[in-house]
Amino acid sequence: MTSLIATGRPDSRLAALLDKGVPSMAIQDDKSVANRLFFRLFQASNILQKQTVGQVGLSTVQWAVLGALSRKGYEDGISFNQLTEYLIVSRQNLDGVLKRLERDDHVKRIPHPDDKRARLILLTDKGRAFWESLQPKIHEFYAQGLANFTFDETVSLLHYLNKFQKDLEAIAMQEAPNAEREES
Amino acid sequence: MTSLIATGRPDSRLAALLDKGVPSMAIQDDKSVANRLFFRLFQASNILQKQTVGQVGLSTVQWAVLGALSRKGYEDGISFNQLTEYLIVSRQNLDGVLKRLERDDHVKRIPHPDDKRARLILLTDKGRAFWESLQPKIHEFYAQGLANFTFDETVSLLHYLNKFQKDLEAIAMQEAPNAEREES
DNA sequence: AAATAAAAGACAATGTATTGACATAAAATT
DNA sequence: AATTTTATGTCAATACATTGTCTTTTATTT
């Protein structure tokens, strides 16, 4: 019931699959390819988490937070809210991560000068030095993770991921419309 | 010190970047592209988590577990250990996830007939029915997430992710060799 | 056969991620 | 100006993920 083998698609697509090295037994239809793609992203993310901890010594969130704060132009901090949007993590999640980074004296939160509700997050001197000290490990990690990628292939993968992310992000927008009408 | 602008690379690579729609200001060197790729994977994974919960009503792990158990040929179960390897999650993590799925009566663990240490994991009838009932939502989710992808583009992204995962997985192998010599 | 080592998986502690709830401050409405 | 609504960040409860530890069983070595 759930496996439709033949869907009357032209052979060119099959040929493309075979060109890419996909085992012919695995080829069924669009749904199968989509399922494989989503599952592969799930697996790849799991490996990325494990290897980042193993090779760099940070969780992926911490790596992302420190990387975001160390960017040029953010020496005076970035607002908590902007940071959640940049990293695509919930406020509540970021709060916990920052708590632990503050405990280790790697980041600090200060009141926002223009908005008494808001906070600015920035690296401490210790945090900046720590981040700098990790750079060799991190670049070595990048290099190993892309060992068999040409420059052009890396750019292509990045391009597709950008595109995929945009599509994924757009989904939830559709069910917002009914948030407007409560009563007449 | 951390930003090397010119690296003497031929123009063809720059052209390739511009072809892909990468803003020219962002182009620096291989390290920058690698950093962007890893960060994009981090972001994409975060979005995938959120959207899976929102659209399907399951966490990504639960989606992956139920999907794995519902595969044809696994009606009689899969060993706990095989399942951790397939999903690329730790034994300890899977244990907790299975506990909650057992609590909801979606999966069960039974003793392995050939190995008294091991367990077989399988769907309950309720779990299988539940999974089947989710299929429309899931396929709709796949379709929306790949709304702007042609079939060939989807296959290309899948191909690159496969390749990237393989590179990432290979990293830790290098530091294993010293596990053999304790004493003479 | 006895001792040792290794594999399987369960438990505990901590970090990461989600939702729900709350207090405060800013913006919008009246 | 006073009220209502919205935005920002924090706290609490639960789920997910990692490392370390332990018990039981199997495999290996002697």
Residue B44 CA and nucleotide D12 C1' are separated, in Å, by 28
Identify whether A177 is part of a domain. no
Interatomic separation, CA of residue B149 and C1' of nucleotide D25, rounded (Å): 50
A124 touches strand C (CB under 7 A): no
Chain B residues near residue A55 by CB distance under 8 angstroms: 171-172
In sequence order, the β-bridge partners of residue A119 are A111
A13 found inside a domain: no
The CATH number that applies at residue A35 is 1.10.10.10
Contact, B106 CB vs strand C, < 7 Å: no
Report DSSP letters for A28-83, one per residue. --HHHHHHHHHHHHHHHHHHHHHHHHHHHSS-HHHHHHHHHHTSTT-TT-EEHHHH
Q: Which domain holds residue A134?
A: 30-162
Residue B174: pLDDT band (50, 70, 90) is low
Number of domains in chain B: 1
| Residue A94 located in a structural domain | yes
Q: Any idea which of A160-164, B20-24, B160-164 has the lowest mean pLDDT? A: B20-24
A160 touches B163 (CB < 8 A): no
Rounded (10°) angle between helices B80-87 and B91-103: 110
Contact criterion met (CB < 8 Å) for A164 and B172:
no
Closest-CA residue to A155 (of B3, B9, B49): B9
Would the pLDDT of A79 be above 60? Answer: yes
- Which nt has its C1' nearest the CA of A93? C17
Examine residue A34 and state whether it is found in any structural domain, yes or no: yes
Please check the confidence at residue A22 and state whether its pLDDT lies above 80: no
Residue B171 has a pLDDT of 85
Could you tell me which chain B residue has the CA closest to the CA of A161? B40
The pLDDT tens digits for B96-120 are 999 999 999 999 999 999 899 999 9
Is A41 contained in some domain?
Answer: yes
A100 CB less than 7 Å from any atom of strand C? yes
pLDDT of A173 higher than 50: yes
Share of chain B above pLDDT 90, in %: 70
Q: Is the pLDDT of residue A111 over 80?
A: yes
Long-range CB contacts (< 8 A, 24+ apart) of A89-97? A89/A61, A89/B46, A93/A61, A94/A65, A97/A61, A97/A62, A97/A65
> What DSSP designation does A4 have?
-
Asked whether residue B22 is assigned to any structural domain, the reply reads no
Asked, for residue B121, whether it belongs to a domain, the answer is yes
Chain A neighbors of B63, CB-CB under 8 A:
42
B29 φ, ψ to 5°?
-165, -175
Give how far Cα A167 sits from Cα of B47, B48, B147, Å: 10, 11, 7
Q: Which of B63, B151, B168 sits opposite A145 (nearest CB)?
A: B168
The yes-or-no verdict on residue B66 having pLDDT over 80 is yes
Report d(CA B37, CA B50) in Å as an integer: 20
In total, chain A counts a number of residues equal to 184
CA dihedral for A114, A118, A123, A126, sign (positive or negative): positive
Q: What is the rounded distance in angstroms from the CA atom of residue A142 to the CA atom of residue B35? A: 7
- B115 beta carbon < 7 A from strand D? yes
**Paired tokens of A179:** 């948030």
Q: Decide if B83 contacts B94 (C-beta within 8 A).
A: yes
pLDDT, one tens digit per residue, over A43-52 is 999 999 999 9
**For residue A44, what is the nearest residue in chain B, using CA coordinates?**
B165
A180 in any annotated domain: no
Instruction: Give residue-wise pLDDT tens across range A127-139.
Output: 999 999 999 999 9
